[in-house]
Structure 1
Amino acid sequence: MLNYNHDKPLVAYTYQNYLKGTEELLKRDIEYIKSHGVAFSAKLVRGAYMDKERMLSKKHEYPCPINNCYEDTSDTYHKSLEILFDETRKNRTKFKTVVASHNESTVLHAADRMKEFDIDKQDGSVVFGQVDGMGDQVSYALGRAGYLVYKSVPYGSIEDTLPYLLRRLLENRSVLNGVRRERELLRSALKHRLKQKCFPG
């Protein structure tokens, strides 16, 4: 960030919100970057290295750094949003947040808080992000409502991309529910179109 974010937030740090210390780390990083007068950008994710973290903490005999439950991770994520949105309200050109989540409740929470913090959905200070093919119903709903949405597309061989996609599924268990919901929505849309075609008017 110090090298590239002189005028605007181009480079972002990724914050794993399944870790207990994420909130304090985010606060420290913001203060450090602000003290150097450059822009700050953060990508918020839930995180997907829980098994590795547990294994390392057990191996090296230190307290496990992972939140106690899924709800605690959601709470940490929402607190991180509050910190970033508060800073964005003070200086919109120097802060950018990527809400990287497939979780519908988190996305709705972020959208609601943007309104309360009076953050323009089109100015680019807050954007949403999902993996292409995961949570598409969330992405489309955000786009229709006028929010800025990024869709990431994993590129490479199956050997390279499959571990990444599996981590994304582990990171957010709601994706599995989203897949079922997408299937239901597609089935409903197909029935509607067939009905219109076969029985017009």
Structure 2
Amino acid sequence: MSRYTGPVCRLCRAEGTKLFLKGDRCYTERCAMAKRNSKPGQHGTRRTKTSEYGLRLREKQKLRRFYGLNESQFAQIYEKAAAMPGQTGHDFLQLLERRLDNVVYRLGLAVSRRQARELVRHGHFLVNGRKLDIPSAVLRAGDVVSVREKSRDVAVLKGNAEVAASRAVPAWLEINGEAMSGRVVTLPVREQIEVPVNEQLVVEFYAR
């Protein structure tokens, strides 16, 4: 399945919640959800009855779109989480959070996961001092993510780093705005992962 390239605000409206796909715009009154909180299309205002399957499907789609993954990537991460000991839902979210593109976004070095993915692919970041251009790479506690020396004058990265210095990051991460770097302090627990979904419904969708 190819990656969605249409207007991302349409995805938020389809799921009925903010997925924060447009960066800073999502925090302003220009957000599409603030303007029109209804499903897209001519029948978007109709009330429909959702089945149990439909409810689980919507949660799965919501989480997949929140992290910007295609179906095959998403399913592979779920299979990996299902093979891990512990609660599958929590392990699933933790694996999603530990992706390099998500960590770059959570540190504030990118305004959205889509931008983070693009910046990583272009080779602007180092992990533990080595260039890593794989957005799906899963980081571990103690890993340090930094902007390459050659990339520190890139306007987008400079602007992102300046904004990031004044923003709070999740408790499992720490940011050094001046050095344009961050560190994974510890692996995230469920209470530290802010996602607008019920992960148990996603687990039930795949376990059906």
Normalised TM-score (structure 2)? 0.26
Q: Which structure would you say has the larger Rg?
A: 1
Which structure shows the bigger proportion of residues in helix conformation?
1
Larger relative contact order (CA 8 Å, sep ≥ 6)? 2
